[in-house]
Amino acid sequence: MSEKPLLSVNDLRVHFPVRGGVLYRQVGAVKAVDGVSLAIKPGETLGLVGESGCGKSTLGKAIVRLLKPTAGAIQFEDREISHLRQGQLRPLRRDFQMIFQDPSESLDARMSVRALLEEPYQVHGLGNRAERKKWVDELLERVGLPAASAERYPFEFSGGQKQRIGIARALALKPKLIICDEPVSALDVSVQSQILNLLVE
């Protein structure tokens, strides 16, 4: 018997309305994602290739429900999630995360790195203060940053370093599914293999 998919996407569509005229009515739609279907089994890696602007990032955001699909179905571990409200999605977010191409999309500039990396643990009620501190220090070291970085703020880091912080945040809860939107494009070649190996683990 074949293994069940961790994620199944069926005929997914994400259309953005185009409005115009005096009454600002919808006059058309941009079909960013139009009829995509795919399945990913546990432990499997799937890569999407396409030119810039073809909808790869939009598809990723729709799968993790940062964007609401226009139509289609998304099943995560046999649960249909495409129409769940944000409150219903919250407990599931522990199991799927996204690493953004632009780390500024996931890093609040007003929060220290420690606060950013502790937040997922706090939201899901994991660990005490000492345990969370230890976990954050370990996360930073795993992505090649010193533990002392935790007391600094995102604006104090280079683009590549911010990307590593974003990756650490996505890995914090040990999710079952990680959607990566060009996660190593901002990193030096010497660091890229380290991060890719970390994601494979």
Do the two domains 1-85 and 95-201 of this chain adopt the same fold? yes
Residues 6+ apart with CB under 8 A from 18: 26, 27, 28, 29, 30
**pLDDT for res 96:** 93
Residue ranges covered by each domain of the chain: 1-85, 95-201
Cα–Cα distance for residue pair 24/123, rounded to 1 Å: 40
Cα–Cα distance for residue pair 10/37, rounded to 1 Å: 4
- pTM of full prediction above 0.75: yes
pLDDT at position 5 over 80: yes
Looking up tokens 């309305």, which residue turns up?
17
Report whether 143 contacts 114 (CB < 8 A): no
Q: Are strands 71-76 and 79-80 parallel, antiparallel or unpaired?
A: antiparallel
State in words which class domain 95-201 has: alpha beta
Cα–Cα distance for residue pair 124/101, rounded to 1 Å: 25
What value does the mean pLDDT of the chain take? 90
Q: Residue 160 is which amino acid? A: G
**pLDDT for res 24:** 85
* Level-2 CATH architecture, domain 1-85: 3-Layer(aba) Sandwich (3.40)
Of the pLDDT bands very low, low, confident and very high (cuts 50, 70, 90), residue 2 is: low
Q: Residue 164 is which amino acid? A: R
Eight-class DSSP state of 148: G
